[in-house]
């Protein structure tokens, strides 16, 4: 992971370019850098899709039988309860759906992806501590997950980061869907949409806490995107957003807020939110994002001083995975 203060120094791009050849995907997979000394870039390993097998068989799979975290399916504690006994106000995250998407599955054994996100969150937590000593104070507990273009893995990384962070001691994670045009967080977790972020912004009488969805993953709550209006951007750019953010942070001193956002190059919300948050985690898709996309995205998000890059979906060469051999998950 690379960090940069303002892009004036351009160290963020240059450091990323040193360890990742941005044009490699244009020349074919063999050109992708596999430099194992590139320890400053954190690389979530791509996860192969789970084989197309019946859900029942997947649910019975042995935790150690699969390569991806997703294979090690662990039922939600709420799934194990009879329907009449499941708490009504706690949403049950769909572990099977997470497994199918190759994402972290709460309660599953630690694999390569979990280890990558441990590294990522550790760095972000360190950043947050440093930011909290500056003028942003409690806003240090907010992290925006963004990228330049669609499909680079923002939602994938935001959810995995939130799941990984929620395993920390003494924190409460609130994952907010800030992508109003294409809200994917709830659906990816197998949950229905409900009142959310935009509704709170549009109605000052609505208590933000009442819109928060508690989940069966301890210490993880969600705030859906809410109902779209024509005035989304204006609402977001209003003072009310900062006030609402501060209210959410003040309501729980252990709370860390992670925002999933729309692509910065395609829509304005990410750059508006970047002005308010403590840090930005910019997702760069190894097989897709170009250097100029990264530069433009950094420029749009530089309302935040603390920008980190995360290189998503890197292919490793056989036998060279950073955690692959350790976890017996050679490709």
Ligand X SMILES: Nc1ncnc2c1ncn2[C@@H]1O[C@H](COP(=O)(O)OP(=O)(O)OP(=O)(O)O)[C@@H](O)[C@H]1O
Instruction: Tell me how far apart the alpha carbons of residues 324 and 331 are, in angstroms, rounded to a whole number.
Output: 8
Partner that binds at residue 224, options ligand X, Mg ion, none, CB closer than 5 to 8 Å by kind:
none
Q: Which of Mg ion, ligand X, none does residue 146 bind (CB under 5 to 8 Å by kind)? A: none
Least spacing, CB of residue 314 vs Mg ion, in Å: 19
Residue with nearest beta carbon to Mg ion = 155
Q: Residue 102: which of Mg ion, ligand X, none does it interact with, CB under 5 to 8 A by kind?
A: ligand X
Asked if residues 70 and 50 have their Cβ atoms less than 8 Å apart, the reply is yes
- Residues of this chain that bind ligand X (CB under 6 A): 44, 46-47, 101-102, 147, 150-156, 179, 182, 184, 263, 312-313
Our finding on whether 154 is near Mg ion (CB under 5 A) is yes
Nearest one of 295, 299, 257, 261 to 278, comparing CA atoms:
257
207 neighbors 190 (Cβ within 8 angstroms): no
Q: Cβ 176 to ligand X, closest distance in Å?
A: 14
* C-alpha span between 274 and 2 (Å, rounded): 18
Least distance from ligand X to the Cβ atom of residue 172, Å: 23
* Residue 101 lies near Mg ion (rule: CB under 5 A): no
Rounded Cα distance, 104 and 110, in Å: 9
Cβ-based nearer residue to ligand X, 148 or 278: 148
155 near Mg ion, rule: CB under 5 A: yes
Q: Min. distance of Cβ 68 from ligand X in angstroms? A: 9
Q: Regarding beta strands 279-285 and 142-146, do their DSSP bridges make them parallel or antiparallel, or are they unpaired? A: parallel
Q: Max CA-CA distance within the chain?
A: 59
* Closest approach of ligand X to the CB of residue 282, in Å: 11
By CB under 5 A, the residues from 173 to 202 that bind Mg ion are 184
HEC letters along 254-315: CEEEEEECCCCCCCCHHHHHHCCCCEEEEEEECCCCCHHHHHHHHHHHCCCCCEEEEEECCC
Per CB under 5 A, does 121 bind Mg ion? no
Q: Decide which of ligand X, Mg ion, none touches 263; Cβ closer than 5 to 8 Å per partner kind.
A: ligand X
Nearer Cβ to ligand X, position 139 or 149? Answer: 149
DSSP-derived letter for residue 199 is: H
- Backbone dihedral region for residue 273 (phi beyond 0: left; psi -120 to 50: alpha; all else: beta): alpha
Residue 147 binding target from ligand X, Mg ion, none, CB below 5 to 8 Å by type? ligand X
**1-12 residues labelled b (16+ CB within 10 A) or e (exposed):** bbbbeeeeeeeb
Report the SS3 class of residue 108: coil
Q: How far is the CB of 8 from ligand X (least distance, A)?
A: 27
- Which CB atom, from 287 or from 305, has the smaller least distance to ligand X? 287
| Closest to Mg ion by CB, 177 or 302 | 177
Instruction: Give the binding site for Mg ion (CB under 5 A).
Output: 154-155, 184
């Amino acid at each position: 992971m690379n960090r940069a203060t303002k892009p004036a120094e351009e160290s963020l791009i240059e450091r990323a370019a040193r360890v990742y050849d941005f044009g490699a995907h244009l020349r074919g997979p063999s050109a992708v850098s596999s430099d194992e000394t590139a320890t400053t870039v954190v690389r979530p390993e791509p996860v192969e899709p789970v084989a197309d097998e019946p859900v029942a068989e997947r649910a019975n799979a042995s935790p150690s039988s699969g390569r991806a975290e997703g294979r090690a399916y662990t039922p939600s504690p709420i799934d194990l309860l009879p329907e009449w006994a499941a708490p009504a106000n706690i949403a049950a995250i769909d572990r099977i759906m997470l497994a199918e998407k190759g994402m972290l599955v709460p309660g599953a054994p630690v694999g390569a992806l979990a280890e990558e996100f441990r590294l990522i969150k550790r760095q972000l937590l360190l950043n947050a501590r440093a930011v909290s000593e500056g003028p942003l104070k409690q806003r240090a507990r907010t992290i925006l997950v963004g990228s330049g273009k669609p499909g680079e893995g923002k939602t994938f990384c935001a959810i995995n980061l939130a799941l990984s962070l929620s395993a920390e001691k003494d924190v409460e994670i609130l994952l907010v869907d800030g992508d109003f045009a294409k809200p994917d967080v709830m659906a990816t977790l197998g949950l229905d949409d409900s009142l959310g972020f935009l509704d709170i912004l549009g109605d000052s009488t609505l208590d933000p806490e009442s819109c928060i969805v508690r989940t069966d993953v301890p210490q993880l709550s969600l705030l859906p995107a809410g109902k779209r209006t024509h005035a989304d951007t204006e609402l977001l750019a209003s003072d009310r957003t900062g006030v609402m953010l501060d209210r959410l942070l003040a309501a729980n001193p252990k709370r860390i807020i992670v925002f999933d956002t729309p692509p910065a190059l395609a829509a304005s919300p990410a750059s508006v939110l970047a002005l308010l948050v403590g840090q930005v985690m910019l997702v760069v898709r190894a097989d897709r994002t170009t250097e100029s996309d990264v530069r433009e995205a950094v420029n749009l998000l530089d309302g935040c001083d603390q920008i980190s890059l995360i290189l998503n979906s890197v292919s490793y060469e056989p036998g060279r995975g950073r955690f692959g051999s350790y976890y017996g998950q050679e490709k």
